[in-house]
Amino acid sequence: MAKQNIDWSNIGFEYSKTAKRFVSNFKDGKWDDGVLTDDNTVVLNECAGVLQYSQSCFEGLKAYTSENGHIVCFRPDLNAQRMVDSAKRLEMPPFDPDRFVKAVVDTVKANADYVPPFGSGATLYIRPVMFGTNAVIGVKPATEYQFRIFTMPVGPYFKGGAKPITIKVSDFDRAAPHGTGHIKAGLNYAMSLHAIVTAHAEGFDENMYLDAATRTYVEETGGANFIFVTKDGTVVTPKSDSILPSITRRSIMTVARDVLGLKTEERKVSFEEVKDFAECGLCGTAAVISPVGKIYDHGKEILFPSGMEKMGPTIQKLYDTLTGIQMGRIEGPEGWVKVIE
């Protein structure tokens, strides 16, 4: 297979159609074997469960070319397990985690000529999604579902280096206590759209959500978890039942503790103490870590000592180490990098 003729370093984060996608359907109580297909459309009954009551969940991960030329992806077993957790909370039938990983591998292999070359900074974004397909009008779970994995090449998240961003403390809530904040459900994003459009219109890059019950503890942004670094170098991440357990954040905490020998804490973080941290970053698959330079809170500003020009030193070290492990430059924990071909 020959690589697609794509200007890898100048593509954005947009959908494009690649050669193949994996599709499996759930009917009569079981998932079928699934197929790789050319068809990127979905034809649904107008009353499909996903269209009426938003029964859907998804995942996001990347395949990329490592330094030694292999196509790899990062900890897909954790995406598989998280999708099981999401499906269960939404009364959807979980897709077997081993089959999930195999389907990711098969889909990436079938689209190997869309995987950007090493050094381009671009990746093949992989989107697994599951949704209720049969007609549902009384409020209840669907009985038929589709699980689909499609891919698209996406550009480097940071063009010309990672510049710190400015975020605002949101007046909206992301997730209710005991709600669905801890799962990757489309519905969490539907209701965050107004908040992010509002934040952008006001000139901010992202929202910081506080806990919905008391508005005193830090939760996360619309699509990334927080890490903070204290003035004495401890890496701190908020703990809450309504935060989505980011695979990037969990990996960063392990790297901080086990590879870099830093002190780490996963605990409740009150908004009050944020002004005392030295560094702040957002963790997610897309950017790995986005540094935060400034937080705006109703007329008051928190400026981190790391400033608006570059990542703080500890976050930079975490970023370099995790991306080094992902790219195969640095030996990471067993099983983190899955070789596809």
Ligand X SMILES: *Cc1c(COP(=O)(O)O)cnc(C)c1O
115 binds ligand X (CB under 6 A): no
CA atoms within 13 A on the CB side of 49: 20
Q: Of 44, 54, 60, 265, which lies in the binding site for ligand X, with binding defined by CB under 6 A? A: 60
CA proximity to 216, closest of 266, 165, 264, 177: 177
CB of 83 to ligand X, least distance (A): 11
Residue 326 sits in the site that holds ligand X (CB under 6 A) = no
Question: Angle at CA 236, nearest 5°, toward 208 and 297?
Answer: 25
Q: Compare residues 55 and 225 and give the one whose CB is closer to ligand X.
A: 225
Asked if 248 interacts with ligand X (CB under 6 A), we say: yes
3-state helix, strand, coil in the chain (%, to 5): 25, 30, 45
Residue 285 or 321 having the CB closest to ligand X: 285
Closest contact distance (angstroms) between CB of 104 and ligand X is 14
Alpha carbon distance 58, 60 (integer Å): 7
Q: Contacts with ligand X: how many residues (CB under 6 A)?
A: 14
- Does residue 124 belong to the site contacting ligand X (CB under 6 A)? no
Give yes or no for residue 224 binding ligand X (CB under 6 A): yes
186 lies in the site for ligand X, by CB under 6 A: no
Q: Which helix (H) or strand (E) holds 221?
A: none
Does residue number 225 form part of the binding site for ligand X (CB under 6 A)? yes
Q: How far is the CB of 29 from ligand X (least distance, A)?
A: 29
Asked if 218 interacts with ligand X (CB under 6 A), we say no
Compute the CA torsion angle 85, 218, 220, 306 (nearest 10 deg).
Answer: -140
Q: Which of 20, 168, 184, 338 is catalytic?
A: 184
CB of 52 to ligand X, least distance (A): 23
d(CA 218, CA 208): 7
- Does 246 help bind ligand X (rule: CB under 6 A)? yes
- Applying CB under 6 A, among 184, 199, 204, 240 the residue interacting with ligand X is 184
Angle at 252 between CA 249 and CA 258, to 5 degrees: 140
Contact 218, 175 (CB under 8 A): no
Residues 254 to 283: which contact ligand X by CB under 6 A? 283
Active site residue 231: no
Establish if 290 lies at the interface with ligand X (CB under 6 A): no
Binding flag, residue 123, ligand X (CB under 6 A): no
- DSSP characters for 141-198? --S-EEEEEEEEEE--SSTTS---EEEEE-SS-S--TTSSTTS-BHHHHHTTHHHHHH
Q: Which is nearer to ligand X, 26 or 217 (CB)?
A: 217
Structure tokens, 199: 């934040």
- The secondary structure of residue 271, as a DSSP letter, is G
Binding mask 152-181 for ligand X (x = CB under 6 A): ------------------------------
Instruction: Single out the residue of 68, 323, 297, 128 nearest to residue 199, CA to CA.
Output: 297
Among 240, 242, 285, 314, binds ligand X (CB under 6 A): 285
Task: Report the catalytic residues.
Answer: 184
Binding footprint of ligand X on the chain (CB under 6 A):
60, 184, 220, 223-225, 244, 246-249, 283-285
